[in-house]
Structure 1
Amino acid sequence: MDWIAAARAGNPRAVARLITQVENDAASAPGIVRALYADTGRAHVVGITGPPGSGKSSLVNELAKRFRQHDRRVGIVAVDPSSPFTGGALLGDRVRMRDLAGDTGIFVRSMASRGSLGGLARSTAAAVKVLDAAGYDLILIETVGAGQAEVDIATAAHTVVVLEAPGMGDDVQSIKAGILEIADILVVNKADRPGASRAAKSLEMMLHLGLETDTASDRAHHGADAAPSPADDGRLPAAGWATPVLQTVATTGEGMAALADAIERHAAHLTATGQRAIRDWERSRDEVEHLLRDLFMDQLRAAVPATERTRLIADVAERRLDPYSAAERLFASASDTFKRER
């Protein structure tokens, strides 16, 4: 079977096979992405993030059902944490979403983070491209739920939904985590619990204090590679989007219609204001930078023998060499090898 052509036609078996290849075989990913890339860019990508226990999986489950009522094809990528000792992952999201299994318009894929930081797996971006090329209208990415370090989703998705839940600790924890800055939509899930209204009011107060000004168009990066504005004048436009604070009970479906409507409104807002193109530009930049880092690390491992790397690390650990000097020596060795091979 021509798996690429079958995936373009929306064949779930082909989609599953290609995602498995990009996840398990790094050498296969470039060829698959190259073959499908011209067919991507049509799906709206929604990131669902928040602390463990906030109900992300249940919310994704109900949200997918809500979009299916409007005949939207939905792809789900659920990232689960891996054990730092064995590398294994429970992939429990697949169990929680088992009632979606009978719907051919929904594709669910769980993948292990495999040590990647930022809440996503290394192959998440490639998996999203496969689903996009296969014709899924919405792609929901559920992050690991690590909390404060979980910011990669800010550029991986068009719309970022951040979940909080009442009774999970200090009401100002979100300020300390800094996660509000990446939110396009804030959700207090498990709103049937005591303290839900207070949690929602606290979030609204934080937004009124000015956190909403760190919008998606300028939230992610302030380096030299700034995304161009629609006017091409080098400035990033104001977002013009008021971040809503919604309350949901994912286990019963309460509030899901309002959340789905907010996602649709945000998608329309991004298109109308030109900010979707800006987010695509930012995502492309971040992806290229991540791939460059991966390529360099692969080059480094190939160019510098493991014994030399181990010796330098031992020198650092025993204070015979500082870490900057060790990194510079490794970089120089890899660069020299690369030049000779060229």
Structure 2
Amino acid sequence: MNLEERLRNGDKRACARLITMVENNEKEAFDILKKLHKHTGNAYIIGITGPPGSGKSTLTDRLTKELVKRGKKVGVIAIDPTSPFTGGAILGDRIRMSDLALDSNVFIRSMGTRGSLGGLSKATQGAVKVLDIYGADIIFIETVGVGQSEVDIVKMADTVLMVMVPNLGDDIQAIKAGIMEIADVFAINKSDLDGADKTQLEIEMNLDLNGKMDYRPPVLKVSAGKNKGIDELLDKLIEHKDYLESTGELEKRRNRNTKLEIVKLVEEELMEMILSKTREEDILDELSSQIVSRNLDPYTAKDKIINLIK
């Protein structure tokens, strides 16, 4: 069987191979995704985000195990801030999921951001499609956890789970910064610590200020380390899925996210064309020097570069 057939038949190795090809930007991978696109759209995508140290990896692990118990096939994309091969601190946390990697109903992949902003790897969209075709019922995308740039997850996920912890200094800062607005469900992890009730109250109060919500995000206290509250949290995530489907909001979200994906793909292609052209012409260094010496302004330089690809 070729790679396409193996992927459609739920072959883990084929899935891993194709995600690697997507990460390496290989044309063959995207040719396969074009052919198999009609088989996507079945998986439900849950984004898991929140500040560093909030226990996102452990919570993802617990939620995945609960889904497997319920007979679901799960894909996990864990975004690492550097590279999957550097063994950085966040990637180190993936060891907690190592026992899941052997489960036939679970596929886990760590991906490096490779310099892309927003807490997500540029190849994440492609990896989601591969896992969808592979047959995953639920796909978790666990983001880096680096602050306001986390809002990018909303452009990809159907449901966004925001993980908070008590007594973390940037709880209030996150609320003020607007990160909280992207959440569909809140989980206060490590809720056995002092301050969990206070954190829950702060989030509830902020939700009270937003009277325009059609759906009020639930705020749950959980303890991933002690495996407490996981069932209830998963139930709330499924409730939100049911709400989106019954109101037609799921289709609206996916339409919005697809538009953003198209724009992003076009941006990347145009950027590659521009950089390739400027490298050929050696124009970027020349324009930069002229701008620094004030013989040229950046706006005229931009026009010159755009004219190269017209």
TM more than 0.5: yes
- Match in the other structure for 2:306: 331
2-side partners of 1:315 and 1:249: how far apart?
58
Amino acid at match of 2:50: G
SS of the residue aligned with 2:27? coil
SS of the residue aligned with 1:305? helix
- Match in the other structure for 2:199: 199
Q: Deviations over 1:281-323 (max 9, x none)?
A: 0111011000000110111122223521122123333443322
Amino acid at match of 1:255: G
Higher mean C-alpha deviation, range 170-179 or range 295-304: 170-179
- Match in the other structure for 1:49: 49
Instruction: Compute the displacement of 1:168 (Å).
Output: 1.4
Amino acid at match of 1:292: V
Unaligned runs of 5+ in 2: none
Higher mean C-alpha deviation, range 132-141 or range 17-26: 17-26
Q: 1:171 to 1:123 in 2, by over 3 A?
A: closer
1-side partners of 2:56 and 2:275: how far apart?
37
Query: How many percent identity over aligned positions?
Result: 42
Give the TM-score taking structure 1 as reference length. 0.85
**Correspondence 1:308 to 2:309:** no
Instruction: Compute the displacement of 1:202 (Å).
Output: 0.2
Does the Cα contact within 8 Å between 2:52 and 2:146 map onto a contact in 1?
A: yes
Give the TM-score taking structure 2 as reference length. 0.94
Q: CA RMSD in A?
A: 1.7
- Match in the other structure for 1:245: 219
Higher mean C-alpha deviation, range 89-98 or range 248-257: 89-98
SS of the residue aligned with 1:160? strand
Instruction: Compute the displacement of 1:280 (Å).
Output: 0.9
Unaligned runs of 5+ in 1: 214-238, 336-342
- Match in the other structure for 1:265: 239
Counterparts of 1:135-214 in structure 2 under 5 Å? 135-210=135-210, 213=212
**Residues matched between the structures, number:** 306
- Match in the other structure for 2:249: 275
Amino acid at match of 1:166: P
Q: Which has the higher helix share?
A: 2
2-side partners of 1:262 and 1:3: how far apart?
37
- Match in the other structure for 2:65: 65
2-side partners of 1:320 and 1:4: how far apart?
55
Instruction: Compute the displacement of 1:28 (Å).
Output: 3.3
2-side partners of 1:317 and 1:177: how far apart?
34
2-side partners of 1:317 and 1:256: how far apart?
56
